[in-house]
């Protein structure tokens, strides 16, 4: 667990999607977020008080979270300079970028001098094993998507929260840096060597016999040329009993790939079901979660109507409507039985 409270670093971000880590932490752990740091040229704003590193320390902050991301997860010299200044001011530093803080000698030296820590959230465990696909006890739901950054983590967290509110056991299983910050543990799947992806998911969602649900955070999309491998490994390792398809209506192209269209919902849903059947032949789709943050009320209602028509599944924007229709469908489809609970891990 990172020492809190946090100062969220937005850098010089101009794209709302590029600060999804900072935004996600603020959305789900607002009590831990004291302020934000924006550099020249930054045009996104979380609405938190702007703070220098010294001001953040004075207000009680203990960790700077590098909350913006770029293509490839590059730790640029500008961020290294900021991190050094934060350490000198008295803040630990956390990053979910692919390039690790601990690989920069100047950061290691600064942290050592200050007696503080560097947290690299995209460092997977060293003792992962390859997946085996052996059925294990428990109930699992995996969120999948038509693209990257369409709301899989948000949908997963809403499902966990509302299952718990309904009196059922449920646990969010984080597979990305933002989810790990929120949950306090997990495995950064996109940093795992390809052969070990399914095994890593088996590890974070082990057998359970309490009749509860593991809600596994999905990553990427089977239809995204850059990230489909991670998505496929997740499907196989999760052995999901249920999947929820996540989508952002109105998105013009795959993230980072102008000219490449998103798949239609029915095609994407079927592809995920076919892939998931390798390790769980009984997998079922139970709902569609839309991210309608860019739509007005009329457009939102129409997008939901079309999604329900095209998939035959309940559809909601979980941040606006909650997930009750999807949970109702889930509980209609799956009821724990002695046979299911006795499967060997």
Q: pLDDT tens across 30-62, in order? A: 999 999 999 999 999 999 999 999 999 999 999
Confidence of residue 343 (pLDDT cuts 50, 70, 90): very low
Does 69 have pLDDT greater than 80? no
Does 179 have pLDDT greater than 90? yes
pTM: 0.90
**Structural domains for the chain:** 6-120 (3.40.50.720), 139-341 (3.40.50.300)
Residues in the chain: 345
The pLDDT assigned to 336 comes to 53
The pLDDT assigned to 75 comes to 83
The pLDDT assigned to 339 comes to 38
The residues pairing with 81 across neighbouring beta strands, listed in sequence order, are none
Confidence of residue 72 (pLDDT cuts 50, 70, 90): low
Q: pLDDT tens across 124-169, in order? A: 999 999 999 999 999 999 999 999 999 999 999 999 999 999 999 9
The pLDDT assigned to 215 comes to 98
In whole angstroms, give the CA distance from residue 294 to residue 151: 13
Q: Helix crossing, 20-28 with 152-165: angle to 10°? A: 10
What average pLDDT does the chain have? 93
The pLDDT assigned to 55 comes to 97
Inter-CA distances, 152 with 81, 174, 229, 243, 250, Å: 33, 11, 17, 11, 17
Inter-CA distances, 198 with 11, 236, 282, Å: 34, 6, 18
Inter-CA distances, 326 with 140, 165, 295, 312, Å: 14, 14, 21, 12
Q: pLDDT tens across 210-247, in order? A: 999 999 999 999 999 999 999 999 999 999 999 999 99
Give buried/exposed letters for 7-42 (b at 16+ CB in 10 A, else e): bbbbbbbeeeebbbbbbbbbbbbeebbbbbbbeeeb
Q: pLDDT tens across 303-327, in order? A: 999 999 999 999 999 999 999 999 9
The pLDDT assigned to 143 comes to 98
Q: Count other C-beta atoms under 10 Å from residue 211's C-beta.
A: 15
């Amino acid at each position: 667990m990172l020492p809190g409270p946090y100062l969220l670093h937005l850098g010089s971000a101009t794209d709302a999607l590029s600060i999804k880590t900072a935004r996600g932490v603020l959305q789900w752990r607002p009590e831990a977020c004291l302020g934000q740091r924006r550099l020249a040229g930054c045009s996104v704003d979380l609405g938190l008080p702007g703070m220098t590193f010294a001001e953040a320390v004075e207000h009680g902050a203990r960790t700077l979270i590098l909350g913006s991301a770029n293509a490839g997860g590059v730790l640029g010299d500008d961020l290294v300079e900021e991190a050094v200044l934060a350490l000198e001011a008295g803040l630990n530093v956390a990053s979910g970028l692919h390039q690790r803080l601990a690989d920069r000698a100047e950061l290691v030296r600064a942290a050592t001098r200050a007696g503080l820590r560097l947290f690299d959230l995209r460092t997977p465990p060293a003792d992962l094993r390859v997946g085996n696909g052996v059925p294990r006890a428990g109930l699992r739901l995996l969120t999948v998507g038509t693209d990257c950054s369409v709301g899989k983590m948000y949908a997963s967290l809403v499902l966990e929260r509302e299952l718990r509110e309904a009196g059922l056991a449920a646990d969010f299983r984080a597979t990305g840096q933002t989810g790990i910050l929120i949950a306090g543990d997990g495995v950064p799947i996109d940093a795992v060597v390809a052969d070990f992806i399914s095994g890593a998911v088996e590890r974070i969602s082990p057998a359970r016999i309490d009749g509860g649900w593991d809600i596994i955070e999905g990553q990427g999309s089977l239809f995204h040329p850059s990230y489909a491998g991670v998505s496929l490994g997740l499907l196989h390792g999760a052995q999901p009993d249920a999947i929820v398809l996540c989508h952002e209506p109105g998105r013009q192209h795959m993230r980072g790939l102008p000219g490449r269209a998103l798949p239609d919902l029915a095609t994407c849903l079927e592809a995920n079901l076919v892939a998931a059947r390798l390790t769980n032949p009984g997998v079922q789709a139970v709902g569609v979660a839309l991210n309608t943050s860019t739509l007005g009320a009329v457009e939102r209602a129409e997008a939901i109507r079309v999604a329900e028509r095209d998939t035959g599944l309940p559809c909601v924007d979980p941040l606006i409507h909650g997930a009750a229709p999807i949970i109702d469908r889930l509980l209609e489809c799956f009821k724990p039985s002695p046979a299911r609970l006795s499967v060997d891990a």
